[in-house]
Amino acid sequence: MKKNQLGNSHMYVSEIGLGCMSLGTEQRKASDIIDRAIDAGINYLDTADLYDQTVNEAIVGQALKGKREQIILASKVGNHLQPDGSWFWDPSKAYIKEQVKTSLLRLQTDYLDLYQLHGGTIDDPIDEVIEAFEELKQEGLIRYYGISSIRPNVIREYVNRSSIVSVMMQYSLLDRRPEESMLDFLHEEGISVVTRGSLAKGFLTDHAKTVIKNKGDGGYLSYSADELKEVIDELKQIDLVNNSLTSTAMRYVTHHPAIASVVTGASSTKQLDDNISAILHASTLPLSLHEKLQKITKQNFYTNHR
């Protein structure tokens, strides 16, 4: 499994990461998926305190017993859970510094390799957020920090004012917004992107026909249901990488040098195996195919998110 440097950190993450949100709440099943991922060379695991209302972190922690040193472990903070299961946005320094300790307890580890702000707005106390992360680094509770965000104005603030090493953002053939202004900018700044949603909820997989039938009525982002079906049909008619839409979708996002890891979820070992096979056996995307894919799909644009 190819590994890429994460920003200017000393960490090298696998080209595919395991997004843990889809693991479910059954420990044995989740542990099997994580074990399979590690055996295949995946070393980047991404979770969050919000997933399954903290249960996901506990499951990941149990699965990583005896394997922690093999893993680049990432979690997220900022969504303040309440006893009734609801949550509110809380980027305060006090909450970040309190919550990391409970995350570490659930994950059964002394430190996080990467701690990410799980969202963010331009109205947040950004200096306070940065101060919290920097103090956590000094205290040895985290090695590096980043932000999970789709808001260009927020991302630029952290790039200009902090020492983030990565940005997690949604990026796929059907959601090309990061191409508008973010990917080149982050690459020039030496900050890596880890992607999420790169298979677009299954619409960009070799099972796309079934996925569209089951959940395509609402379309996807700016694509109507008819447009979604039309663009997927068009994609399937060209000479895809490995003759696979899954492989092509993954190779499309790894084409840009800012991308360090494509984080994909898996709810079964079979799904994980399919994702791993799709990228391991796929060649680099030829420029001619890259351009053809861009002509078929839309160039989406960010709105002025706060």
Active-site residue flag, 51: yes
Distance CA 268, CA 283 (A): 25
Backbone region of residue 142 per phi and psi (left: phi > 0; alpha: psi in -120 to 50; beta: other values): beta
CA 43, 264, 34, 143: dihedral to nearest 10 degrees? 40
**Please, is 258 exposed, middle or buried when counting C-beta atoms within 10 Å of its C-beta (0-12, 13-18, 19+)?**
buried
User: Which residues contact residue 80 at a Cβ distance below 8 angstroms, ignoring those fewer than 6 apart?
Assistant: 87, 88, 89, 90, 95, 99
The stretches of 203-304 forming alpha helices (DSSP H) are: 208-215, 225-236, 245-254, 269-280, 287-296
Amino acid letter for position 120: G
Q: How far is CA 20 from each of CA 80, 121, 183, 267, 303, rounded to the nearest angstrom?
A: 19, 25, 24, 9, 29
On the CB side of 80, how many CA atoms lie within 13 Å of its CA?
Answer: 12
SS3 31: helix
Strands (DSSP E) contained in 182-228 are 192-196
Q: Cα 77 to chain center, whole Å?
A: 14
Partners of residue 13 on adjacent β-strands: 4
State phi, psi for 302 to the nearest 5 degrees. -70, 145
Catalytic choice (12, 44, 51, 115):
51
Supply the residues annotated as catalytic: 51
